[in-house]
Structure 1
Amino acid sequence: MARAGVTYIDIAKAAEAIKSHGQEPTVDRIRERLGTGSKSTIAPLLKRWRSHNTEATDISGLPNDLVEVVKSLHERVQQVANHKIEQARKEYQAANENLQAELTEARNTITQLTARQQDLEQQNKGLIDEKTELYKALEDTRINLVKAESQRDEALTRVAELKAAVSDLKQENRDIRNHFEHYQQRTAEDRQHEREQFRAANQQLQSQVHSLSNQLAQSESHLSELLKANTQLQTMIDGLNESNHALQLELNQKNETMKSLNHNLEATLAEHQTSSRQNDELREKIAALTSRLSAADKENYLLAQALEKAEAELGSTKDKVAFLAEENKVILQEKAVIQGQFKQLQSSL
């Protein structure tokens, strides 16, 4: 169906004008002259005009067979050219749409991978910061553990010293009691012979006993304080042992956490490397698609050149046909002249 603005009358006028300039009306020439209309619209109208002007073509003097052959050749060439042009245009359009879709998909994939890579880098940075904090906490825990072990060693040394002091005091107490019993026995044996000396010695011994009793009370008080201090130190040692055990458990937990974080970090790095490889593959695919698009453009350009060449050859063929028609007309005229001269010769004879 003709598009609005392009009618058979317009086609006919344009064809007559082109023919008046000594050229063969073609779809491209009519379209160029009108400045509008598509080939699919102009071609059937031009064919209709040619069918109406068949008699004028026969009057030119060309044989009907030659005219029919030329028409058939022109129509066949025109149909083949139009078919090739339409097929090339559809193939180019389909290839271009496929390439555009693949390019869009590749760009979307690159965008997603880039976002994923940024997320992985952010997670990797967070894991590194968390690992640094855990290393710092682990170092603080180790320092506290060393301090606790040092305090424990000092407490154990102090307890050993206190135990040694208690043992010395007990031995001194035993020696004093043994010495006191020895004096009592000696005093009982010498009481009858040396009563006066016994009284003096008894007073002296009583004084010594009183002094020794005070020393014994002080020693027992000191021993009680030492035992109490020993109990406190033992309690402190137990608390330090519990703290050491808790710190050891916490250290083990931190080590397990560190192992887990290292494993996650390795997995994240592996995933990051995989994403990088996929990104490189997509870049290579985009490069290949771009190359294919460039090849398709080049092929389209070659097809356009081939089409122009075919149209040029068609125009040349039409010009040759027109030249042959003119030459045939001249030959027919010469033939008519020769026949007239021949008739004149016959009549004169």
Structure 2
Amino acid sequence: MARAGLYHSDVKKARDALLAQGRHPSVDAVRVALGNTGSKTTIHKYLKELEAEEGSIDGRKVSISDALQDIVTRLAARLHDEANERVSVIEAVSAQKDQAHAVNLAALQQDLASLEEQLRQARERVEEMGRMHVVTDVRLQEEAISRHIAQQQVADLQERLAENEVHRQSLEEKHTHARNSLEHYRQSVKEQRDQDLRRHEQQLQQVQAELRQQQHTLIQKQEESTRLNQEAARLVTALSQAEKSLYDEQTAGRRLTEQLAASQSAAHQVEVILAQVASNERLIEALGDQLVQAAAQIEVQSNQSRTLEAALGTAQATLVSQQDTIRELSGLHSRAEHHGTL
């Protein structure tokens, strides 16, 4: 990298080093000794100053031949420097021309590649057009055959059209007969529908009558349920009494059995009591069966009662809601009257 500045002393040291090596201190040699830094013009100026300084100091002692040799040496150095400068300029111009030629060559190669690609595409299009031309000829022949077939089909269709016209006239006649038959059928269906409507009204009246009968039967069932509940309560009371009697009789039987061990004369009485106990047990079993039947009937009636209670609950809820609504409306009416009075 070039230095920021070049001094007179730097050029003098480089020139003296070259002279000590026995080399000619040309501008290029001094610049190389300085590390390829500094302008050639500046180096050349400093060298001239050094030569002038040395010439003024030793001018009297230098002979004519030495002066001529010095002049020739300086002229040779100057010619060498000018030649180097011209060579540098020519090299720069040549490098620029080479670069421009390279750019032009690359552009020409790219254009050549583009033209080759266009030529290839054009050849492909020509080949494709040839193939399309062959396909077009084939299609043209097929179209001619298809047109001939279509003309034949048109002639066939015209014949069929004439046949269809005859068939259509026949269908119109049949349609007229069918329409008359349909009108007659509609009239009969209307009469049948009227009869069915009257019969349906009669059936509806019968169903309403049966509904009223069912409602009456439900009321009777409710009354019967109440009676069965009362009967069940009575049977439960009787069963409790029978169980108490059985317990008492069992207690008496145990006592009689104890007395039987002490007295054989009480055996007949024990047998009689035992027979009574067995009779009471059969009675209790019969009462138990009746109680089971009553419980089943009570369960059925309870289900019906729960259904009725649910309906009653719904009706009561509706009644409460309506009462609340009535109270709200009454309150609103009262407040409206109060505000109206104010």
- Report if TM-score (shorter chain) is over 0.5: no
Q: What's the TM-score once normalised by structure 1's chain length?
A: 0.37
Q: Of the two structures, which has the highest relative contact order with CA contacts closer than 8 Å and spacing of 6 or more? A: 1
Q: What's the TM-score once normalised by structure 2's chain length?
A: 0.37
Q: Which of the pair has more CA radius of gyration?
A: 2
